Amino acid sequence: MKVKPGDKVKILKDSLVTIKHKLQKDEVYTVIERVPYYEGVILISNGRHMLYVKEDEILLKTIQEKEKRFLKKDLKDGDIVTLRCGKKAIVKAPFLYIVKSDTSLNLDYYNDDFSSVFKDVGVNGFDIIKVERSLNFQTVYEEEKQILDDVEKRYLEAVLKPFKKDISSVTKEDSWVDEMEFIRIYLKDFSAISFPIFKKNTMYQGMENSRKYSVTELGLFS
């Protein structure tokens, strides 16, 4: 049996190859190389030992790495499949929705290997022959993230309403007390109003620390 570098082989019987080392049955080795100029001699390793052996002096069995088969159970919603007839369909379990058509096919009509049960009656145009999956989705729409939640917004609007036209900016800042923060309002006359402190990362979490926000950015009085 000809083996090649990279093949994994299993020892089928005990065999003494050196005075110090004996190959044990069922040990697994990797073929490192076929030795040039020495017909049938190979170098094998199990990560601990490297040995030169002759293929015809020991019994080796090549281990075939089991190829992972893509089966029906591996389909995901959003996958695009191509049918043998050329049509494409979108997966939304438990159905396939044919593109540009009102037709849908139940996945129960498919075997694990993507062949259609209709194939048994001579119709094979519905077999799935290709599966495509987008791994890099581009965002085409996303709702604008609100910096303040409704409770925070109502509170600030109620407190600031008497002098809303005088506000220059609003910030969230670290307090002199460890692990505490507070809201500070800067007015156009360069004065400021500081709100009571609160535990860090418990309120106004949408605001970046020390960044100056306008009332418009915060959605206040809109």
Query: How does pLDDT run across 104-142, given as a tens digit for each residue?
Result: 999 998 988 888 887 766 677 888 999 988 766 566 555
Q: What is the pLDDT of residue 24?
A: 77
pLDDT tens per residue across span 66-108: 445 788 888 999 899 999 889 999 999 899 999 988 889 999 9
Number of H helices, E strands in the chain: 1, 16
Confidence of residue 163 (pLDDT cuts 50, 70, 90): confident
**d(C-alpha 42, C-alpha 54), whole Å:** 6
H helices within the chain, ranges in order?
150-160
Question: Residue 70: how many CB atoms within 10 A of its CB?
Answer: 12
Is the Cβ–Cβ distance between 180 and 172 less than 8 Å? Answer: no
Question: Smallest Cα–Cα separation from 106: which of 121, 88, 126?
Answer: 126
Q: What is the pLDDT of residue 113?
A: 84
In a 13 Å sphere around the CA of 131, the CA atoms on its Cβ side amount to: 19
Q: What is the pLDDT of residue 114?
A: 86
Q: What is the pLDDT of residue 207?
A: 94
Cβ contacts of 173 within 8 Å, gap of 6 or more = 181, 182, 183, 184, 209, 210
Q: What is the pLDDT of residue 140?
A: 53
pTM, two decimal places: 0.39
Q: What is the pLDDT of residue 126?
A: 87
pLDDT tens per residue across span 26-73: 778 888 888 887 888 888 887 777 888 877 655 555 555 444 578 888
DSSP bridge partners of 110: 116
Expressed in percent and rounded to 5, the helix, strand and coil fractions of the chain are 15, 35, 55
Overall average pLDDT of the 208-222 stretch? 90
Q: Is the dihedral of CA 79, 84, 86, 87 positive or negative?
A: negative
Q: What is the pLDDT of residue 96?
A: 93
**d(C-alpha 139, C-alpha 189), whole Å:** 43
